[in-house]
Structure 1
């Protein structure tokens, strides 16, 4: 049976670890992203392209927004959008405030994705490289909260990493990624996201496979689910 108390304690412990890591790297987070994501511009650019809205001034919620990287791509596409950035790490949001200084159409909310989200409704809800940190049950609950906050006809875009369907391919993909990104500029410990800490249980708890994403994101209110794969190689 599902133990709610154990779940809350586990989420709190994992959340503390993730928050501490992001606190430690907030000042160099943006520079690291370009090293960690070989196809950086395509990755964020494709997500912004998929976040399509007919609204002239779309209301956008960015979950786990960090320093505002994804929101910056959304701002480029929608100059008059109202964007709300949420993150549970204060130092990351401080960097986001610097990025959007003087932009009156951007709000910041320090909040945990496993808790209560801003009410909305929103024309677009986006997230990038954040939701994989959640345990699978929390992903399911989050997707329900997202659907409840979308305007009719709204769209949810999650640009994230996914586990391979087998441990063999998961290992092969990870080894290739490490070859692509590790050239001495990035310390080995910085190349490891919390979900890839050696043999810790988080390797089994975090990234879902594509089939897992589909299973956890399929309430009846969703009109369609599209999953795309962006192959990357080092420049």
Structure 2
């Protein structure tokens, strides 16, 4: 570009600041993708009878899975401006009474299958954000031995809670109760022992850290004692304080 015969190079345009949605999308892009989970859900819903909402027609070795997606937009810093879309996918499992499982374990705790912050049109968004309708429950059948392995992290399907090792002891107890009579009982019991051992290690590490902090504080006070207080009287001058 020339102006009055001289070449003029315009200054580069400043980069447009990223929106909150773009920042969340960039952060989520580093997390594992949910494609195996989405493919399993889509196939399970396609092969299951539509409109099924109870366990009356289930076989003893089957369970009824219910999933639902929550989608909302929260304000940013308590302002009127909305933040990025938030997607959360939850699942619960119903066991028929004819299966012989204790009544307290006929319904599983809620399991978070995944979450996403951003738009469902993003290239790295989980596919379930696009083909599921928010706040609409979906039901499908699955075999009981597969689902107890699923909630215990013994399958190849990526699940949010299981991948972060935050499966609750209540979910493990449900899996053991429902694994009776199936070939997955020994595997689930082994998974529970691993969970208990991990929780014990974390508790021991936390107690050891607290003990080190206390011992370090005591050692610091022993090596650097507090300064002795000076004899000071209200209304006296600094020179007069030293002579007291």
Pick the TM interval, shorter chain: under 0.3
TM-score by length of 1: 0.26
**Higher relative contact order, structure no. (Cα contacts within 8 Å, ≥ 6 residues apart):** 1
Which structure is larger by alpha-carbon Rg, 1 or 2? 2
